[in-house]
Structures are given as C-alpha cells and as structure tokens.
Structure 1
Amino acid sequence: MTRQEGDPRNVDPQGAEPAAPPAGRPLPGDPLALLGLLRPLCRVLLLLLPVYVCGRLGLSLTWVLFGLFLWIFWNRNKKSKLARMRAAWELLDNESLEVTRGLNTQQLPAWVNFPDVERVEWINKVVRQMWPYFGTYMEKLFQEKIEPLVRASNGHLNAFTFTKVHFGDKSPRINGIKAYTKKVDKREVILDIQLCYTGDCEINVEVKKLCKAGVKGIQVHGTLRVILAPLLSDVPFVGAVTMFFIQKPHLEINWTGLTNILEIPGVSDMSDGMIVDLIASYLVLPNRFTFPLCGQVNAAELRFPVPQGVLRVYLLEAEHLIPKDNYLKGIIKGKSDPYAVMRVGNQNFKSRTIKENLDPRWNEMYEFVIHEVPGQDLEVDLYDEDPDKDDFLGSLVIGLEHVMKDRMVDEWFPLSDVVSGSVHLKLEWFSLLAARDKLPEVSDW
C-alpha cells in the first residue's frame, strides 16, 4: 500500500514544525512571562517590608499591628466612598429608574419631595452638550495658567506638573429650580438651584517624578441661590447677577496617589472639611459673588446688603432622649451626655455638655445674623459626647419665615431620625432698621 500526497503520515518526524503554543500563553523566554512571575514576588516583598523595617529599627510587634489595623480601616473607608460614588453615578445615568426603586430620600432629586420645585431637563441637556467644550477650556486653564502660578509660588514646586487633566463625561446636573416672585421685592427675582455634580473627573499632579497625587471622582451638591436684581426697563433688563450657597455644600473626593493618606478615617473628614471651609469663605453666606451687567448698579450694595434681621435662640431643655452609653454589649443600660450644635448657614454654635442626663437643661442663649429669608433655616443637632466618636441623638430643621412673621416662638420641637426625644426652644426675631430715631423705642422695649 502506497502513501498518498497530503497524508499527515508522509511528514518526516525530524522535519516537522513545532506546534504553536495555545492562544494567550506566552512563549518560553518571553519578558511578559517573567514579569508575571516577578509581580507576585514583589507584592509579597512589599507587604513584608514594614515587618523588616520594624525589626531593623528594634520596634515591637505593636507597630506592625497598628499599621495593619490602619491599613484595614483605610481600605474600608476607601471602598465605602467608592460605593457611594458608584451609587451616585447610577442615579445620574438613570434617574427615573432609581426614583421608582425608592432610593434613599437624601439622594432623591428635589422635585420628588417638594412640589414647588420644578424640573428643568432642557437646561441639563444644554449643559450636557456643552460640557466637553467646557472641559477643554478648563484643561487649558489648568496647564497654561494654574501650573505656572504653582511653580512660581515656591522654589520646591518648580517641577510641579499636571500630568493629566480630564473633567470626564458626566456633567453637572440641576435637580430642580424654585423661583420666588411673591413676597419678595418687585425689582428682583430669586432662584434656588438644586445643584449636583457627580463627576468622573481625573486630575493628576507630579513633582520631580517622585511625588504623585491626584483626584479621581468628586461629588458636590448643595443649594445655589441666584438673585437677578435690580430689574430694569432697559436692555439687558437685569442690573446684576448675585450667586451664593445658602448652606455649606456637601463634598466628597476620591483621592489617588500620595493623597490616598487623606482617606484614613478622621483625616478624611478633616481634609474634606478644610476644603468645604475654603469654599464657604468665598461662596457661602454672608459671602456673595456679584456680576454687574450695567454701569448703573452699585455692586458693593448688592454684595454687602444689610441683613434682614437677628435670630435669638434660647436653648432651654430637652426630654426623653435615647440612651447611648451602654456597657457590656448592652447588658447594663446607661444614659447619655447630650450637647447641641446649632447652625444657620455658615454660623455655628455648640452648647455645653450635660453629663449622664436624658432630660438635660441648658438655659443658654445664642444669636444668629440672618441674611436671607426665605432660604436660611435653623438646624439643631443633638449628640452624645464620647471619647472616640459622638453618637447621634436626633435633629430638627426650623424654617424662619413664620418666626420672622410671629416675632416670637416658644415650643417643644420633636427630634427627627430617632425613636424619641424633643427640644424646648424659644425663638425671637429682631429686625434691623436704618432709621436712627427708632433707637429710643428699642431701648424702651
């Protein structure tokens, strides 16, 4: 029997070509294969490095355990922040679906909870279309303007560089607008804009190719008030535009590189708080941004208007607060060490702490300068003072419109978000008058 051409048995075994390796598997001697073997080894050596350093320096095992616990808490805080960021992105991508699922009311758009807040989807579509062009402008601004300023500010920063500036694909969103045209001056229009920015921006910096840091993802949301005043009978019909945040906006930043140290619990709150305070020093009441549109307007009067009044708050007492100081995993019931934090816009006051008391009596008085009504509210939060982290005992928000109208309110206010508890407050409103002849009347009163 003869062998036919094309029969695989006709191939000389010595001249046969070697079989090709399976797809995806690197060839022997491939640098990628060597790198894949060295990567786990380098990771193990990196994890063992703190142990070696502690042993070299003669430190105890306590330092290693402390570093391990610190890394665990940092990793947990990082994952929780990323989870909140992803949830906000999902809400931004499919708002109607998330609303029907019944998401947390703190994340729902304002038009869901307040019928007088209007949806403005057409504005969001315009902003979404313009966002890439705004991002290009900001990238040039960071690299051509801000980078030279940072380098010139300090000799150690002469190698400072923005390695990446990208404002992402997710544009800011307006969750609703509330317009005030009644009970306000006829020559002005007031708009409260529920602003939300859940961005996938990425900004990386580098100093001498050694220090690398940056931001990857940011959340900012708050109420931005826009005042169009005074209204004119000539073009452009509006004399100036004034903008400010009524209260401090909520801020959350996902750090990268060396700034990952800011994700450590405690440090994260402090760093975010410092950035919010910096924003508040420019954009939160009583600070304002005013843009004149014509020469007939006095910008100083619009930027520094006379406050509408003074709110005097008497923090008298509370009752039926929940006990938070429990011992032996709740077997022994304790009490609480309550104190109150009162806030109006950028003004904060903290009361003294009453030890071991669920029905505390403070009898303290505080005064707040009120700039915008409606808009500003009195916020009261109660906490139980602890050595590590203070426990929440309840909160309440009081609108100042009816206080301004009634001049005096003396009531018990129930606390929200807790099982029980109420606070006794006495509120007094004092209007500011420019007439000097009214001073005797005030002194007699």
Structure 2
Amino acid sequence: MQVPRSHAMEEETPRQLEVESRASKTHVKVSETQTSTGHEVDRGDKPLAARLPSRAESFAELGSLSWLNALISWLWPSFNRAVMDFVHEDLMPRLRDALPSMLRHVKCSRFTLGEKSPELGPVQVLESPHRVDLVLGVQYLSDVDISFDAGGGVSFGVRHLICNGKMCVSLRPLLQRFPVAGAVHMFFATAPQVDIEFTGLASLGHFPGIEKTIRRAVADWLNSYIVLPRSKAVLLADDVDKLEALAQQPLGVARVKVVQAKNLAGVNCHAFKEDCFTSHPYCMLSLGDCSVRTSTVYDTTSPVWPDESGAFFVVHHREQQLSVEVHGETSASLFQHSFTGFLGRFSCRIGQCLRRWPEGEPGVRRNTQKLDTSEVQRELLHVDDPVNRGVASVVDLEVQWFDFVGADAWAAVAPAVLEIKIFQGTGFPSECNAGRGLRWRTWVDEKKALVSQKGHLVSDQLRFPDLPINPRLFSVIDNLDSRQYSSKDVAQIVGITEDLVRTYLRTRDEFKSKQEQLREVQSKDDYRIPLQWFQILVHILDDFTDVSKNLSLALLDSQDGEVGRLPSMSLRSILEDSRKAEPPVRSYVLQGLPDERPGLPWLGFGISEVNPRFAKVKMDISVRIRGLRAGLLPRV
C-alpha cells in the first residue's frame, strides 16, 4: 500500500537531498567492506560522534517542526470536517446575534478550510516544577471557501483567512508514572491576529459596518474558546485531582498603573486656540479577558494621571499580553469639537514587563514605552501636531507582581481576590447544552461579572468491567455460546479456564441488563444529565472594606438568558470559611430568579419559581477569599 505524501515531503530541500545522498553512499560502502563471512571490516571512517548532528543542528531541526507539519497536513481533511460541525453549531448562532435584524436568518451554505494546513514553529519549552509548556508559533495562510446566504438573494463569503499567533500546549500536573501528565491543555496566551478577506460585501452596502461586525464576532468566538483564561483540556489520567488537572490555575496578580504620557496627538479643535489642538486622554488597559479604563485628564497632550492604585489583573501565563490603548474622550460643544479618538497603543508580554523592565521602588518595575500611532488619523490633526512632526508619543507605566496568600497571612488593607471553584452538577436538561451550552455567570459588582466556559457532559455510557481475558476473545465466546457449546468446551477452544468463561457470560448478561435499563431511563421526558466544569474564576476585590456584599451565581443558557440562580453568599461568611485549612465544597440547589419589581420582596414574592426543566439542578461549588502580597513572578 502506498502512503500518501504531503506537499512538505514532496518539496525536498538541498539539505535533505545531501543527507540522502550521503546515506546512500555510506550504505554502498558498508556493503563493499563486508567479507564473504558477513563480518564488517574496518572502514577507517570517522567516529560515530563525529558523524552525528551537532546540538545546535538538532535544536534547529526541532524548531522547524517539519515532522509535525507533515502530520497535520495528513490529518487536515479530518480536521476540516470537525471544524465544519463546530462552525454550524456555535459560530453561526453568534454571527446571527451580532448581525442586523434583517440578516438574522443567515446560514452557512458552503464551508471548507481548503487544502493548506497551518505551519507550526519555532517551539519554545517552558519548564516549572509541576508543568511543562510548549509554546508553538502558528502561521495559517488559508485558501478557505466559505459562503453565507442571508436570504432574499443576498450572499457574501470569505476567500482568504490569515491567522498568526503563539499556541501553548501545556502538560500538567507532571506524574511519576504513565501517562507522565494528568492532562494536556491547548490555548493561546494572547489572542491571535486574524485577518479575513471577504467577497460579495457590495450586496450589503446598505448595512454600514457589516465587515467590522463580522470580524468582531469571529474574534469574540475565538477568545471565548481557546484564549486564556479559557482553554481546551483533555484528561489523560483518571486518578488525578480533576480540578488541578483541568482548571487554568492562576499564577498571581499584576498591578498596572499608567503614570504619564507625552507628545500625544491633539484631537480637540478649540475655537479660540488655532495654534494647537488638545485632547482629553484616557487609557484602556487589557490583559486576558479583563479591561480597565483609567480616569480622564482634560485639555492636554502630555497628561499626568493622578496617584491611583492602578488596575489589577489575574495572570494565568507569563506569555499573556498586556495591552495599553490611549484614546481621546469625545468632546462636542459650542467652542470645542474632537475629530478622532484613537491616540496610540502599546503591547508587551507580562513576563517581559516583570522581568526585564528597570526596577524603581522595591518590587515595582517602571519603563517608558513608545506608542504605535500608525492608525492615528493624521490628516485630521493640526499641521504642527507632534505626531505629524514625527515626534514619538510615549507612555510611562508601572507594573508590580502579587502572590496569593491565605486569609490568615493577609492584611485587610491590601487587595484581595475572590476565588470560585466550579466543580460539577447534576439534573441538567440534555437538550439545553447545545451551542454555547450552559454556563455560570458570577459577580459581586454587576459591572465586573465573569462567565465560565460551557459545561461538559459527564459520560453516562456504561463501561464493560475489566476481566483477565483478551477482549478479542469476547466475540469468539459469544459465537460459541450462541451455538450452545458448554462452558468446558468453550474453555478448551479459547484456551482459558472454565471459571473465567462462566464469569464472562454472567458479567455480559448483567451488562446487557444495565444497558437496557439506562436506555429506558434516557428515553423518559424527565431524564437529566450531569455536567462538569472544573474551572476557577477569580474576582479582584479592589475595595474590601464592605463585607456585607454578596456573591451571586446565575446559570445562563445558550442564548445568554438566566434560567436560575444559586443562593447568594455573603462575603463575611466566605471570609470565615477562608480562614479554614481548605474551604469546603458545598452542594447548592438552583433557585428561581429574583423579582425586582418594587414592593414584591416586602410582600414575600421576591423569588420566582425555577423553570421545571431545571428544578433538579444541584451544583458543587467552593468559594474562598485569598489575600495578595507583593512578590516576584515565578521563574521558569
């Protein structure tokens, strides 16, 4: 049988040809130097160590990952079909929600990722005591063919898709036995750069901004599935702590503060100041799925932000990207008007900020960074604006690392975090976990809510018990038993003991009976499924002076609608549990939604009845408060 060859294998490089030629010559030489007795004589060649590739050459071959790229090219047709189902089930509902109402019936009429597979490389290995991370460069220049039909003769499509980023494959926790790691995680530490080339958008000209809307929907889709703090994990070992193996464990917290900026673009035109423009700058700080806006400094292009505490971000990986965007607040008055809002951006790996930036105060790193102003609309600026004159816009930043500490070692004046461990639950309707599925929304402050990933079905399929019999013999024993052979005869034919034959037949009958019972239960209308999350959500408590606040947890359906809530938990009671060695895992029953109409809580009608389909939902949750203490980013 001929094995298909990928394009990567067909296009042999001169180095490969040289190696093959050298190998063939060596083979001929060995054959010629063998005697008639078959013994090899001394050839006088170089020692084996001299003929092996050097360490640098070995790492160069490893960094190219040509073998992995060839494997991906072979698997690409199967991956194409798997992604097609995923797009129809998840991306299309998101796209319909984002598009205008007249395009809500859009459907994907044709989908293929083309023949070009992604190219991986180079690779970087990050090691720590309990995990190993492989950081892979990903470059995908695809020849996709995707068509969307919006009805009424309106259609559009995607012709080219470009994706560049760094994917991380993480093995953790490390074990001293096979399979060596408890689970494997795949994720992007920072969102990959995605560029989409559309076709047929001329038919949608009466919908301004439709291209931007589609791009944003695709980016949000990627971020919600495989960009930290979200990831795809596969459990490799059954006898490990599932939360430790499957959850994205936070490393710590980074505090980021914008100190000042200089030479920003002036975007506000003032009627009585014709010689120059000013701005009302503010900054948007982003890391992971969290974004924080600073205060606004008015009427200046060299702002100094007040002495604020800064923004706190939960860090899951040192490769995560810290992004700073400077904008000008919109100004529209009788004497003042702003033409544009974007003033520049800067981004850097959080690990680089915390390791390579100069240290100012103890534990605080500070640096001046140049802003990228290539997207500033220069034609709308004053002719003498610093950006138009080529003067660099810069921003001064401070970053500081905080380690997690227990509640006993935490000072109440320092920031704290609220850590929610979502385990698993029972009683969920099976039909409700399609699409984006069932997720948990948690919040103390409504403006800083977090949403978990989709719950995964705990397999309810029965597994045949392990027996000291080769599974290949099962069908043979079944065939002989159907022909009414005795256990003694079956044992002699298959070569096992008679007791093992009886044990297998008895176990088989019991297993079939349980399968029938399970199918009967699953066919009933009130059948419910178990779901598991094994995820950690972390809320930053900037101001922890008020412990009377409550933590709320709501269950969301695939349309982001609330179907019920767990009982609220006060921060005071959570703090008391946090002082214990390990906060307990408690089971909570789903309740109805609170009715916020005036007067109803006073009349005793504060909570509505839960949807009957979710009346049996019970969830395992663990919550604790952890303190923060200034420290150093863990080394790898």
Shorter-chain TM-score tier:
0.5 to 0.7
Give me the whole-angstrom Cα distance separating, in 2, the residues matched to 1:161 and 1:417.
Answer: 38
Q: Is the 2:230–2:248 contact (alpha carbons within 8 Å) kept by the matching residues of 1?
A: no
Q: Which residue of 2 aligns with 1:397?
A: 348
User: Cα–Cα, structure 1 residues 388 and 408, in superposed 2: closer, same or farther, change >3 Å?
Assistant: same
Q: How far 1:180 moved relative to its partner? A: 0.7
Q: How far 1:381 moved relative to its partner? A: 2.5
1:355 and 2:298 matched: yes
Q: Which residue of 1 aligns with 2:122?
A: 176
1:339 and 2:282 matched: yes
Q: Which residue of 2 aligns with 1:247?
A: 190
User: Cα–Cα, structure 1 residues 353 and 284, in superposed 2: closer, same or farther, change >3 Å?
Assistant: same
Q: How far 1:135 moved relative to its partner? A: 3.3
Give the aligned residue type for 1:437: D
Q: How far 1:292 moved relative to its partner? A: 0.3
Q: How far 1:188 moved relative to its partner? A: 1.7
Q: Is the 2:139–2:163 contact (alpha carbons within 8 Å) kept by the matching residues of 1?
A: yes
Q: How far 1:385 moved relative to its partner? A: 4.6
Q: How far 1:240 moved relative to its partner? A: 0.8
Q: How far 1:275 moved relative to its partner? A: 2.3
1:438 and 2:381 matched: no
Q: Which residue of 1 aligns with 2:310?
A: 366
Q: How far 1:382 moved relative to its partner? A: 2.2
Q: How far 1:257 moved relative to its partner? A: 4.6
Q: Which residue of 2 aligns with 1:167?
A: 113
For residues 28-177 of structure 1, the aligned pairs below 5 Å read: 118-135=63-80, 141=85, 163-177=109-123
For residues 420-439 of structure 1, the aligned pairs below 5 Å read: 420-433=392-405, 435-439=406-410
Q: Is the 1:412–1:422 contact (alpha carbons within 8 Å) kept by the matching residues of 2?
A: no
Q: How far 1:189 moved relative to its partner? A: 0.9
Give me the whole-angstrom Cα distance separating, in 2, the residues matched to 1:130 and 1:263.
Answer: 41
1:284 and 2:255 matched: no
Bigger relative contact order, structure 1 or 2 (CA pairs below 8 A, ≥6 apart): 2
Q: Is the 1:380–1:395 contact (alpha carbons within 8 Å) kept by the matching residues of 2?
A: yes
Q: Is the 2:144–2:161 contact (alpha carbons within 8 Å) kept by the matching residues of 1?
A: yes
1:293 and 2:293 matched: no
1:409 and 2:364 matched: yes
User: Cα–Cα, structure 1 residues 175 and 266, in superposed 2: closer, same or farther, change >3 Å?
Assistant: farther
Calculate the aligned-residue CA RMSD, in Å.
4.2
Give me the whole-angstrom Cα distance separating, in 1, the residues matched to 2:106 and 2:397.
Answer: 53
Give me the whole-angstrom Cα distance separating, in 2, the residues matched to 1:275 and 1:283.
Answer: 12
Q: Is the 1:320–1:422 contact (alpha carbons within 8 Å) kept by the matching residues of 2?
A: yes
Kindly, what percent of the aligned residue pairs are identical? 24
User: Cα–Cα, structure 1 residues 390 and 225, in superposed 2: closer, same or farther, change >3 Å?
Assistant: same
List gaps (5 residues or longer) in structure 2. Answer: 1-10, 14-59, 97-101, 331-337, 374-390, 415-626, 630-636
User: Cα–Cα, structure 1 residues 233 and 427, in superposed 2: closer, same or farther, change >3 Å?
Assistant: closer
Deviation string, structure 1 residues 6-31 (Cα, Å, up to 9, x no partner): xxxxxxxxxxxxxxxxxxxxxxxxxx
Any idea what SS the aligned residue of 1:277 has? helix
Give me the whole-angstrom Cα distance separating, in 2, the residues matched to 1:170 and 1:305.
Answer: 32
Give me the whole-angstrom Cα distance separating, in 1, the residues matched to 2:248 and 2:343.
Answer: 37
Q: Is the 1:408–1:426 contact (alpha carbons within 8 Å) kept by the matching residues of 2?
A: no
User: Cα–Cα, structure 1 residues 206 and 422, in superposed 2: closer, same or farther, change >3 Å?
Assistant: closer
List gaps (5 residues or longer) in structure 1. Answer: 1-93, 97-114
Q: Which residue of 2 aligns with 1:269?
A: 212
Any idea what SS the aligned residue of 1:168 has? coil
Q: How far 1:413 moved relative to its partner? A: 1.0
Q: Is the 1:373–1:401 contact (alpha carbons within 8 Å) kept by the matching residues of 2?
A: no
User: Cα–Cα, structure 1 residues 393 and 374, in superposed 2: closer, same or farther, change >3 Å?
Assistant: closer
Give the aligned residue type for 2:399: L
Q: How far 1:325 moved relative to its partner? A: 5.4
Any idea what SS the aligned residue of 2:111 has? strand
Q: How far 1:200 moved relative to its partner? A: 1.1
Any idea what SS the aligned residue of 1:118 has? helix
Any idea what SS the aligned residue of 2:160 has? strand
Q: Which residue of 1 aligns with 2:141?
A: 198
The two structures have a TM-score, normalised by structure 1, of 0.59
Q: Is the 2:118–2:139 contact (alpha carbons within 8 Å) kept by the matching residues of 1?
A: yes
Q: Which residue of 1 aligns with 2:535?
A: none
Any idea what SS the aligned residue of 2:286 has? strand
Q: How far 1:373 moved relative to its partner? A: 4.1
Deviation string, structure 1 residues 284-329 (Cα, Å, up to 9, x no partner): 221222100121233322333442222222323223334455799x
Any idea what SS the aligned residue of 2:163 has? strand
Give the aligned residue type for 1:411: R
Give the aligned residue type for 2:72: V
- 282-291 vs 334-343, greater mean Cα deviation: 334-343
